[in-house]
Amino acid sequence: MKEAVEIVEDLLAQPQVKILLPTEKHWKIFSDLVIEGQTGGVMMMDAHLAALAIEHGATLATTDRDFVRFSKLKMTNPLLD
């Protein structure tokens, strides 16, 4: 677990990495994504992360193909790009 924390701390130290917080737009974007993506259960966290990225105009770096269900989300696969 310590190694995982160190990896995340290294990522967060990069100048291009930002921690995104929900804004007043979050609920509307999130609820639209849940309906659009027919999201439930464990996929709710994916919808939350997608909503954060969308409301901040960010690109989500992920290898998880489940995010393709959110059509408004900009994504990149860091292993391919």
Whether residue 24 has pLDDT greater than 90: yes
What is residue 21's predicted lDDT score, i.e. its pLDDT?
96
Mean predicted confidence (pLDDT) in 4-22: 93
Q: Mind listing the pLDDT tens digit for each residue in 51-77?
A: 999 999 999 999 999 999 999 999 999
Q: Could you give the C-alpha distances from 74 to 19, 20, 49, 70, in angstroms and in order?
A: 17, 15, 12, 9
Q: Mind listing the pLDDT tens digit for each residue in 30-55?
A: 999 999 888 889 899 999 999 999 99
Helix (H) or strand (E) holding 9: helix 2-12
- Which residue's entry shows tokens 């990495």? 17
Are the CB atoms for 60 and 54 separated by under 8 Å?
Answer: no
